[in-house]
Amino acid sequence: MVASHRDDLSLKQISQYLWQKDRGHLKVHYLDLFSFQGYLSIGIASVERPSGANYLLKTTQSLIDNMSEEDKKNSIIVIFLADIEESPKSRTKKEIARMFDEHINKGLLIVIEATSEFYPTLENVKPKYGDTDSRRTWRSKENVDATFVMCFCKDISEYYIHLEDDVISAPSFVPKLQAFINGQPKATWLLLDVAVQGSIAKVYHSRDLSNIASYFYLMYDEMPIDWLMDYWREIKSQDRRVEKLTPPASLFQHIGDIPSLKEKGLSGRKQREPFFDQFEQKFKGMNPSATVTTSMSSHSGEAQDAYEKGSGFFWATTPRKGDYLSMKFQTPTVVQRVTVETGCHYAQRDLLTEGILQGSLEGNTHSKEKNDLCGTFTTLGPLNKGRIDIFPNNSKKFVCLRILVTDSHANFVYFREINIW
């Protein structure tokens, strides 16, 4: 029965197996993980979709592309090929070897696998939640898959991200994660939700992984993995109302349209992060130097915080028609692209829904208003659902850009970031 199997197969045995598993056809060059103490390990358990779709390669490429060389030195990506059958694993291994051989050789990317003998009983899982037999088996195996990859990643880094295999990462996601972690008021946090949909991306202290893996393995047939993760936080904090710790915008975006369970159909299409941190221009301080001013009152932050380097923001109180946020460049600038992002996960309604982006060009400084150094503004485009992403078709240099409120708002407006290229 299930209980006896749990007794027969300890987490220590699982962990030892994963460490000693033959590297197979990938010719994987493992780091001396016992001496490696990096900042971040990233664990991904992956199975092939029923249609043959494979998002894992795109996920892996996105992670690598969005890491600096310094990030790569302090991080490890661990991919657990969790298919029971050998054929899908073999196909995936060949593709990984073809695409990422350089990163395997450098120790950034590690691939592990397990055989069916190391799984507890997955058939005849007790009925719950009205799930079909296949769905119960699928979600139970997903929990055990997470256990395996966590066992492997314990104690090899300071922090651990558990990722689904069908996501893309934000640019500069490692320093953005560092900033979010360093900004926590307490160092005793249990779990960070760096994406809000399901179990897409969760961050743990690596020191907790052994306990979390034990908990997952004990409860593998009880509930879906995202529920287990939430209950872990509640149990450890002894508070069912414990606040979820989420950045203003997600560091990972779900891209999978085809789920790993065939009977789920195409429901994954709806599972997208409402706020995704997809730019790095402002975060890295690459916006043109400018003086930022506003007519709006602040609930939190200052106007320049939404424009200048870092993860700052400007949370304005109930903007009125005619209010503005203006950026006057230190030197006239050719502007190739502008994005304005408002709203965030914890202020989803605080969008600028009635507003336009305007610009004033060099040589057009005549204005009826005294002390107006920007001159006459022309409209570049409206904000739609709280954001704008526009490519001004103009080779002339801009003196100023301005976000103008065109109608009064009952809600606050959260200016998350302004990016200018």
pLDDT at position 369 is 52
For position 305, what pLDDT does the model report?
A: 97
* Of 242, 413, 399, nearest in space to 328 by CA: 399
What is the pLDDT of the chain when averaged over all its residues? 85
Structure tokens at 168: 């893309």
Share of the chain above pLDDT 70, in %: 84
Instruction: Give the mean model confidence (pLDDT) for residues 147-170.
Output: 93
Q: What pLDDT shows up at residue 115?
A: 77
User: Two tokens at 397?
Assistant: 């240099």
- Give which of 340, 332, 353, 345 is closest to 412, Cα–Cα: 353
Confidence grade of residue 239 (pLDDT, cut at 50, 70, 90)? low
pLDDT in tens, 71-125: 999 999 999 999 888 888 899 999 999 999 999 998 899 998 887 777 877 777 7
Instruction: Note the Cα 402 to chain centre separation in Å.
Output: 30
Q: How many of the other CB atoms lie within 10 Å of CB of 8?
A: 9
E strands within 103-148? 109-113
Bridge partner list, 417: 341
Q: Which residues contact 393 (CB under 8 A, 6 or more apart)?
A: none
Tokens representing 50? 């029923």
The pLDDT of residue 241: 67
Sheet with 201-205, edge to edge strand ranges = 109-113, 75-81, 38-46, 157-163, 201-205, 192-193
Residue-level pLDDT at 397:
94
Mean pLDDT of 356-370: 75
Q: Is the pLDDT of residue 32 over 70?
A: no
Domain residues of the chain, as ranges? Answer: 2-270, 290-420
What architecture does CATH give domain 290-420? Sandwich (2.60)
Q: Is the pLDDT of residue 328 over 90?
A: yes
Q: Which CATH architecture has domain 2-270?
A: Alpha-Beta Complex (3.90)
